[in-house]
Amino acid sequence: MPTLIYHFPVLSMVIPLVGAFIIPLLSTVTSDRRVFAGIALTTISISALLVWSMAAYVFTTSKPIVYIMGGFPPPVGITYYVDEASALMASLVGFVGVLVVIYTLKYLEEDYGVNWFYILMQTAYLALLGLTYTADLFHMFVLFEVTCISTYMLVAFRKDKPISVEAATKYALISVFGTGLYYFGVWYLYNTFGTLSMPDLVLKLMGQYWTPTGAPLGDPRIGITVFVLTIIVALGILSATAPFHWWLPDVYTAAPAAVAALFSGAKDGVMLYLMMRILFTLLGAGSEHAILPFSNAILGLLLMMGLLSALLGSLFMLAQTDVKRFISWCTINHVGLIVVGIGLGLTKGFLALGGVLAAVLHILNHGIIKSELFMCTGCFTKQVGTQDMMEMKGIIKAMPVTASFFLLGCIALIGIPGFAVFWDKFVLLATILDAANRLSPIYLGVLFVLVITMAIEAFAYLRVIQWFVVSEPTEKVKKARESSPVMIIPITIMIAVSALLFLMPSLLLGLASKAASALLNQERYVAAMEYYMKLLVHH
């Protein structure tokens, strides 16, 4: 048994943290941007390599990695738990993180104060990694705050632009409220169960009270109801699910494209992953014997939120002329699809696996393509000098490579076979059809709404394709030149990975279904940490 790999979760976070502390020290002696970028690229690449090797280990051996902080076993100390789902999400964060840092090497060449950018980038990256690993609810709150505080400042990075500052303020106010609400939910849960360690909570919900924290003090049903409602609102705010979506288009439009790429690729996905981790692994919402009051109401709530996001996202896509705002509304649309998948996970049994599988697949594939699209918009705005699509008409003649990758990304998100997003939409719609067959014909309505949103989305994208390809180039576009290869390489890699994953459905679906069943498997979650919890019990 290799022992070093058990330290990889924490090492993959500590290395970027060290980088984040070195950069301010170095900026007292040098102001060379290449030094700062080099440090950030090195630490994030090493961290991503650790994450990928950890993922390879977890997927090949099917053994979760448990890291005990400071040697304090679970109910007392903080635990990191890496199973297939965490490893998959952490790999996504690593993938997006490395490519975004490569992209910023050229993207930020005209900005000043890049040392601060790379410090915040590294802290945001490590906090997102930590969120995928953690098995402690209060530690999760701390990591939420680390993610949020670094991302407010990343959004306001170009602080000489008024809209950046305004968007950052808006985002900061709403997400501080979201994390505050989560903090409140955690308090209620602690008041009821007397523990914040997730494996310990799972044991209590299964009716086993042998851990030192003992039996619940309050009524578990009330505690769980309050907690579920607060986390749905809190994570809905942080992942921009309707009706808490309105901050997202402003923030993604005003933030630098690299930051928007990190947000939509990694942050949204991780927040939705946490929603699944809490609903399914912690509360067992996907299993038959779960103590989850109003399970059907929560299912309905999630489906409504998902459908509303999908509908609003696709409808508002039609009204946008700003390219980043257009893609932001598309993000809301796809977050809606993921939330519908999570909602289906509450239907129990085989359908639950299908819904969670669709959600995991879509977090992965949508994250990759959406980061790619935001990176392309960064290239366009850098060359054309505007974010308005009306002034970007005919851009394929001026920037053929970037524009064709952008259009490939659009085609991928529509769900046309050729890119991995096709499999997500296929699995999602097939699961809903199955639910309509087995459960109730209401799901046909869900299917109908989703198909309509997909059609509107396809129409919106086709219109953009028409503007970019068929229309005559405008004056501004004629002056634009092809972007630097450093910016095109990450875009190419993302599109290529998506196309490869489409060609290897057995690999993609294999990985994602392992992750989905890991999310739904409470027994395995507890069994992996039971050994450590028993260390505290005297016989």
Partner 1 sequence: MAQTLATIILQHYPYAVLFVMFAISLWGLIFKPNIIKKILCLAFMFDAINTLYALSCWRWAKYPLPAILTDLHPTPEELKVFASSAVDPLPQALVLTAVVIGAATTAALLALAVMIYRHYGTLEMSEIRKLKG
* 142 makes contact with partner 1 (CB under 8 A): yes
Q: Which stretch binds partner 1 (CB under 8 A): 2-10, 140-148, 451-459, 509-517?
A: 140-148
Q: Rounded distance, CA 348 to CA 246, Å?
A: 32
Give residues 77-136 in contact with partner 1 (rule: CB under 8 A): none
Q: Which stretch binds partner 1 (CB under 8 A): 180-188, 335-343, 397-405, 444-452?
A: 180-188
- Under 8 Å between Cβ of 435 and 344: yes
| Chosen residue from 180, 216, 300, 473 binding partner 1 by CB under 8 A | 180
Rounded to 10°, the helix 84-107/485-503 angle is 150
* 184 makes contact with partner 1 (CB under 8 A): yes
Q: Which stretch binds partner 1 (CB under 8 A): 2-10, 53-61, 144-152, 411-419?
A: 144-152
Q: How many helices (H) and strands (E) does the chain have?
A: 22, 2
* 249 makes contact with partner 1 (CB under 8 A): yes
Rounded to 5 degrees, what are φ and ψ at 294? 55, 40
| Chosen residue from 83, 84, 136, 250 binding partner 1 by CB under 8 A | 250
- Cα distances (Å, whole numbers) of residue 467 to 260, 389, 460, 461: 23, 8, 11, 10
Shorter beta-carbon distance to partner 1: residue 170 or 476 = 170
CA nearest neighbour of 94 among 12, 157, 152: 12
| Chosen residue from 7, 170, 348, 476 binding partner 1 by CB under 8 A | 170
Q: Rounded distance, CA 475 to CA 465, Å?
A: 19
Q: Which stretch binds partner 1 (CB under 8 A): 77-85, 174-182, 345-353, 418-426?
A: 174-182
Radius of gyration (C-alpha) of the chain in whole angstroms: 22
For the bound state, the minimum distance from the C-beta of residue 382 to partner 1, rounded and expressed in Å, comes to 21
Q: Rounded distance, CA 127 to CA 82, Å?
A: 15
- Under 8 Å between Cβ of 199 and 536: no
- Under 8 Å between Cβ of 131 and 147: yes
| Chosen residue from 35, 46, 165, 206 binding partner 1 by CB under 8 A | 165
Alpha helix positions (H), 62-136: 84-107, 114-133
Q: Rounded distance, CA 236 to CA 298, Å?
A: 13
Shorter beta-carbon distance to partner 1: residue 61 or 191 = 191
| Chosen residue from 38, 42, 46, 166 binding partner 1 by CB under 8 A | 166
Taking residue 523's Cβ as centre, other Cβ atoms within 10 Å add up to 12
* 246 makes contact with partner 1 (CB under 8 A): yes
Shorter beta-carbon distance to partner 1: residue 39 or 153 = 153
* 167 makes contact with partner 1 (CB under 8 A): yes
* 253 makes contact with partner 1 (CB under 8 A): yes
Q: Which stretch binds partner 1 (CB under 8 A): 54-62, 188-196, 279-287, 500-508?
A: 188-196
Q: Which stretch binds partner 1 (CB under 8 A): 177-185, 261-269, 401-409, 448-456?
A: 177-185
- Cα distances (Å, whole numbers) of residue 100 to 78, 122, 161, 226, 380: 30, 11, 22, 38, 16
Taking residue 103's Cβ as centre, other Cβ atoms within 10 Å add up to 26
For the bound state, the minimum distance from the C-beta of residue 162 to partner 1, rounded and expressed in Å, comes to 4
Rounded to 5 degrees, what are φ and ψ at 444? -65, -35
Give first-to-last CA distance, the chain, whole Å.
Answer: 29
Rounded to 5 degrees, what are φ and ψ at 136? -140, 130
| Chosen residue from 71, 162, 417, 441 binding partner 1 by CB under 8 A | 162
Neighbour-count burial of 485, counting CB atoms closer than 10 A to its CB (0-12 exposed, 13-18 middle, 19+ buried): exposed
- Under 8 Å between Cβ of 90 and 55: yes
| Chosen residue from 8, 80, 133, 141 binding partner 1 by CB under 8 A | 141
* 254 makes contact with partner 1 (CB under 8 A): yes
H or E segment and range at residue 82: strand 79-82
Shorter beta-carbon distance to partner 1: residue 233 or 450 = 233
For the bound state, the minimum distance from the C-beta of residue 134 to partner 1, rounded and expressed in Å, comes to 14
Size of interface with partner 1, in residues (CB under 8 A): 36
Give residues 257-316 in contact with partner 1 (rule: CB under 8 A): none
* 168 makes contact with partner 1 (CB under 8 A): yes
How crowded is the C-beta side of 55, counted as CA atoms within 13 Å?
Answer: 24
Binding map of partner 1 across residues 198-237, x = CB under 8 A, - = no contact: -------------------x--------------------
Shorter beta-carbon distance to partner 1: residue 69 or 142 = 142
Which residues contribute to the site for partner 1 (CB under 8 A)? Answer: 138, 141-142, 145, 148-149, 152-153, 156, 159, 162-163, 165-170, 172-173, 176-177, 180, 183-184, 187, 190-191, 194, 217, 246-247, 249-250, 253-254
